[in-house]
């Protein structure tokens, strides 16, 4: 993705589409909050949603101050990191810049990618972490992990600066973030879940989703927003965006069908949870590949992702890491599927490179494997270190008693649902209750 070429000024139609796409990506935040919120138990719904919304707020502020510069500033060398002071506060972008893409909306669009990526990690450590530490983690992870990986794969460089090493030196294909978003968040989720440990009662107490209606709505909103995520990554209202749009549609559909078929064959029932998960698995896998494959290729990628992820979500029970909402099973595994399948299914008519199945040999598959492995290893190691350090200093997990009582109540002093006819509570005046007359 991302060619900030040296055309005069941005085309207004392209800018209109990018503005729309950025807003669509923002819609993925409540989408993710609902998707995850429905999956947790009733005592952690609000905390789960707050982790996702909180990550958005923190990531965007950090992005404005420093993150965008690290990711998209002039390369410091080797395609590893951008110049950290270049776009502080985005002040230098207030005046319209020359180029094909409006850089102000581009900065917001890319920042929202980071916000979603951090929000995804929350699912791996649901029900058991301190909110303040989570916000600190969100800020640091954006700068230390997200921004570098985004630079590696999204920063295209210009006449005087080389691009990110995975994009420019390696030649990996990743249209909208199979590496920076999906593998990155999945590996981070795995690291965080392992370092922080299992929830109380994992594998013993029932931890079934409390409201799959929310999860279905969330999946729908995510899918809708994903058109901004993927088709918006064309950075133009053009034919590439159209191809990507169709591919995104197809992969979600085939992901749903594949996951449901696996469930029907294995468990005897096609579940709504499986359908919602299948949509997301297909979308995760098409994220890197949407700009590289034909609609047939996209459909196949959705099928593989839906089927493989339906199996992969069971691994946590076998290996004992409590990735609460299956960030590993869906985002890491789906991201790997999509990133690697480019090596097989890339279509020269779409992207200018043929994959193995189109007679292009193993070259592209090798590049994809290097990019996927590098992202996985970097994210896993950095996140493990960061989570460990935060746990040692600020404390990352809540106390066992608080976890048993529920993080909604303990951290936020709220309950998600009040189904009691009297409210089950007696109000009393407290802080900030000056206008409450009882």
Confirm if 423 and 429 have CB atoms less than 8 A apart: no
Angle formed at CA 170 by CA 116 and CA 181, multiple of 5 degrees: 10
Confirm if 380 and 195 have CB atoms less than 8 A apart: no
Contact stretch for other proteins (CB under 8 A) within 105-113, 269-277, 385-393, 397-405: 269-277
Alpha-carbon separation of residue 185 from 191, 202, 271, 286 (angstroms): 10, 22, 26, 16
322's tokens: 């409590």
Confirm if 332 and 276 have CB atoms less than 8 A apart: no
When binding is defined by CB under 8 A, the residue of 274, 291, 334, 335 that contacts other proteins is: 274
Alpha-carbon separation of residue 357 from 244, 288, 363, 365, 435 (angstroms): 20, 18, 12, 11, 69
Distance of alpha carbon 364 from alpha carbon 254, whole angstroms: 24
Distance of alpha carbon 152 from alpha carbon 371, whole angstroms: 9
* Residue with smaller CB distance to other proteins, 213 or 433: 213
Contact stretch for other proteins (CB under 8 A) within 51-59, 82-90, 227-235, 268-276: 268-276
Site string for other proteins, 209-248 (x = CB under 8 A): x---------------------------------------
Q: Nearest distance from residue 34's CB to other proteins, in Å?
A: 17
The DSSP line for 179-227 is IIIIIHHHHHHHHHHHHH-PPTTTTTS----S-HHHHHHHHHHHHHHHH
Q: Is residue 277 within the footprint of other proteins (CB under 8 A)?
A: yes
Q: Nearest distance from residue 103's CB to other proteins, in Å?
A: 41
The SS3 of residue 392 is helix
When binding is defined by CB under 8 A, the residue of 9, 266, 362, 400 that contacts other proteins is: 266
Q: Is residue 264 within the footprint of other proteins (CB under 8 A)?
A: no
When binding is defined by CB under 8 A, the residue of 235, 284, 310, 342 that contacts other proteins is: 310
Contact stretch for other proteins (CB under 8 A) within 113-121, 148-156, 272-280, 418-426: 272-280
- The count of chain residues that interact with other proteins, using the rule CB under 8 A, is 18
Bridge partners of residue 129, in order along the sequence = 397
Restricted to residues 175-214, the positions that interact with other proteins (CB under 8 A) are 206, 208-209
Q: Nearest distance from residue 318's CB to other proteins, in Å?
A: 11
Q: Is residue 271 within the footprint of other proteins (CB under 8 A)?
A: yes
User: Where do contacts with other proteins occur on this chain (CB under 8 A)?
Assistant: 206, 208-209, 263, 266-269, 271, 273-274, 277, 310, 313-314, 317, 326, 329
């Amino acid at each position: 993705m991302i060619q900030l070429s040296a055309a005069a000024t941005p085309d207004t139609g392209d800018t209109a589409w990018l503005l729309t796409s950025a807003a669509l990506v923002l819609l993925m935040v409540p989408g993710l909050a609902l998707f995850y919120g429905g999956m947790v138990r009733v005592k952690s719904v609000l905390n789960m949603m707050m982790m996702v919304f909180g990550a958005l707020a923190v990531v965007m502020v950090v992005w404005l101050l420093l993150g965008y510069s690290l990711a998209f500033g002039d390369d410091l060398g080797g395609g590893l990191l951008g110049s950290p002071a270049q776009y502080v506060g985005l002040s230098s972008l207030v005046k319209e810049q020359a180029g094909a893409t409006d850089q102000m909306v581009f900065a917001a669009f890319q920042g929202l990618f980071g916000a979603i990526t951090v929000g995804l990690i929350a699912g791996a450590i649901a029900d058991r972490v301190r909110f303040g530490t989570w916000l600190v983690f969100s800020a640091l992870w954006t700068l230390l992990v997200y921004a570098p990986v985004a630079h590696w794969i999204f920063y295209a460089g210009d006449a005087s600066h080389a691009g990110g090493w995975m994009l420019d030196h390696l030649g990996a294909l990743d249209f909208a973030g199979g590496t920076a978003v999906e593998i990155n968040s999945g590996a981070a989720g795995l690291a965080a879940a392992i370092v922080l440990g299992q929830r109380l009662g994992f594998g013993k107490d029932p931890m079934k989703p409390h409201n799959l209606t929310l999860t279905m709505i969330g999946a729908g909103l995510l899918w809708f927003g994903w058109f901004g995520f993927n088709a918006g990554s064309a950075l133009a209202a053009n034919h590439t965006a159209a191809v990507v749009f169709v591919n995104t549609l197809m992969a979600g559909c085939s992901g749903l069908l594949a996951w449901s078929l696996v469930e029907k064959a294995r468990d005897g029932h096609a579940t709504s949870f499986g359908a919602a998960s299948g949509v997301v698995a297909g979308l995760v896998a098409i994220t890197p590949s949407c700009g590289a494959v034909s609609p047939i290729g996209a459909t196949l990628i959705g099928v593989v992702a839906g089927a493989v992820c339906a199996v992969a979500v069971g691994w946590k029970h076998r290996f004992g890491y409590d990735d609460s909402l299956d960030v590993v099973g869906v985002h890491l595994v789906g991201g790997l599927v999509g990133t690697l399948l480019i090596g097989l299914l890339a279509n020269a008519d779409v992207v200018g490179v043929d994959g193995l199945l189109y007679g292009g040999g193993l070259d592209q598959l090798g590049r994809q494997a290097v990019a996927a492995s590098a992202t996985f290893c970097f994210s896993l190691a950095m996140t493990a270190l960061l989570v460990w350090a935060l746990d040692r200093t600020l404390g990352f997990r809540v106390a066992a008693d608080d976890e048993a009582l529920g993080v909604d109540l303990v951290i936020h002093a709220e309950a998600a649902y009040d189904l009691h006819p009297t409210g089950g509570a007696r109000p009393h005046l407290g802080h900030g209750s000056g206008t409450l007359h009882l």
